[in-house]
Structure 1
């Protein structure tokens, strides 16, 4: 899986991480993947819900292995 775009949304609170993801995903080619980093606790609920509602595929949601807590989400835009 190749990541086409990265967004660092750490420090942003709901709904900004989802809005940033939506804006970038709209500009990506079909089948492309986006990785977004966030430290907003609500993102654990918001990102999966956004993907399900908008038709995007949530490939992974993992904890960050850094000194700063947070999560990394990898989302794929549908091919067509």
Structure 2
């Protein structure tokens, strides 16, 4: 089973990289682009077949290492 973890900054947390991407898009002529927020995707291959156990394990990974839960949100997507 594969897990995809989407990590993004929480609303209200300054996102300078997202701002820079938005400014670059505007300078390239994409004037209809509004606010841009950037994040990361982490793919994890799991040797677990039980979906609930896999999700619980990945959430624990997020809480302990993959996301800074003070300033970041995360979403777990299980594939397979």
Q: Give the alignment's TM-score, normalised by structure 2.
A: 0.31
From the CA coordinates, give the structure whose radius of gyration is larger.
Answer: 2
Higher helix proportion: 2
- Give TM-score, length-normalised by structure 1: 0.31
**Structure possessing the higher relative contact order (Cα contacts under 8 Å, 6 or more residues apart):** 2
